[in-house]
């Protein structure tokens, strides 16, 4: 399953990148995130791995982030692996004006167990909706942080 989402943030691109690239800010815009632990590689660089633990409606979800590309301020990409799911995300950031940034994400989900395949077939919109909610939450956080 593949889809693209985007949002315009009312801040200069450099400021958006500073906030997006700060692991200490993750919990401020990802309310379900309970912990972020660096596992290996140089933090923030291609090849680095981290464990993210989320509480999603009472369910504990652990995923491993692997950074695949870091070309900021233009692009930050990675893979996210959780039980039954392999997710590839490409984040691109564009100047949309002197004080605006357009953030575009390309998302690809591959499901490798029956339950997740069924969820992907029966509720594909829920994945897009969650991605858009994360982007909306980041926009609100970033604009309030200034």
The tens digit of pLDDT for each residue in 23-35 reads 999 999 998 999 9
Domain that holds residue 91: 2-145
Task: Kindly state the helix (H) or strand (E) to which residue 130 belongs, with its residue range.
Answer: helix 124-145
Structure token digits, residue 142? 């970033």
Query: Which CATH number covers residue 16?
Result: 3.30.530.20
For residues 85 and 69, is the Cβ–Cβ distance under 8 A? no
Number of structural domains found in the chain: 1
| 63 beta partners | 52
Per-residue pLDDT for 76 more than 90? yes
Enter the pTM of the model: 0.90
Give a three-class secondary structure readout of 52-108.
EEEEECCEEEEEEEEEEEEECCCEEEEEEEECCEEEEEEEEEEEEECCEEEEEEEEE
* pLDDT class of 127 with cuts at 50, 70, 90: confident
Structure token digits, residue 115? 């339950």
* pLDDT class of 120 with cuts at 50, 70, 90: low
- Residue 112: strand, helix, or coil: coil
Q: What is the mean pLDDT of residues 94-115?
A: 91
Distance CA 90, CA 110 (A): 15
């Amino acid at each position: 399953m593949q889809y693209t989402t985007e949002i315009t943030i009312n801040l200069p691109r450099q400021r958006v990148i500073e906030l997006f690239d700060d692991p200490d800010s993750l919990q401020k815009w990802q309310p379900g995130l309970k912990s972020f632990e660096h596992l290996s590689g140089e933090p923030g660089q291609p090849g680095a791995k981290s464990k993210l633990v989320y509480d999603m409606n009472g369910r504990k979800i652990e995923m491993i982030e692997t950074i695949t590309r870091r070309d900021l301020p233009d692009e930050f990409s990675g893979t996210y692996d959780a039980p039954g799911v392999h997710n590839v995300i490409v984040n691109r950031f564009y100047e949309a004006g002197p004080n605006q940034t357009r953030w575009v994400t390309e998302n690809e989900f591959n499901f490798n167990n029956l339950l997740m395949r069924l969820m992907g077939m029966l509720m594909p919109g829920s994945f897009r909706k969650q991605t858009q909610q994360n982007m909306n939450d980041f926009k609100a956080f970033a604009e309030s942080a200034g």
